[in-house]
């Protein structure tokens, strides 16, 4: 058994649930020990954008807030 450098664990990539439905505008993300990685799903051997956790969390939270404010109100359309 070799005692040399062990290979790094490969990131587990997942496709964004908000990527374009036509399969031409997809991004993939992977959680790694020091943050997140983002890449174009059509070019898995292409460039990867590293994002620190301290930047990723506010980004995701802002998307959740935007989604919540865009959701139709449950009282919308109700007659008074």
> Do the bridges between strand 48-51 and strand 35-40 make them parallel or antiparallel, or are there none, so unpaired?
antiparallel
Gyration radius from the chain CA atoms: 19
**Per-residue model confidence (pLDDT) at position 37:** 95
Q: Is 32's pLDDT higher than 70?
A: yes
Q: Tell me the pLDDT tens digit for each residue of 33-79.
A: 989 999 998 888 999 999 999 999 999 899 889 888 887 765 555 55
| Overall average pLDDT of the 7-24 stretch | 72
**Per-residue model confidence (pLDDT) at position 10:** 84
- Confidence band for 6, pLDDT divided at 50, 70 and 90: very low
């Amino acid at each position: 058994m070799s005692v040399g450098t062990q290979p790094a664990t490969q990131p587990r990539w997942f496709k964004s649930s908000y990527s374009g439905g036509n399969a031409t505008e997809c991004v993939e993300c992977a959680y790694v020990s020091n943050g997140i990685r983002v890449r174009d799903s059509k070019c898995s051997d292409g460039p990867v954008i590293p994002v620190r956790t301290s930047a990723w969390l506010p980004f995701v939270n802002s998307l959740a807030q935007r989604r919540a404010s865009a959701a139709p109100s449950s009282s919308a359309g109700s007659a008074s």
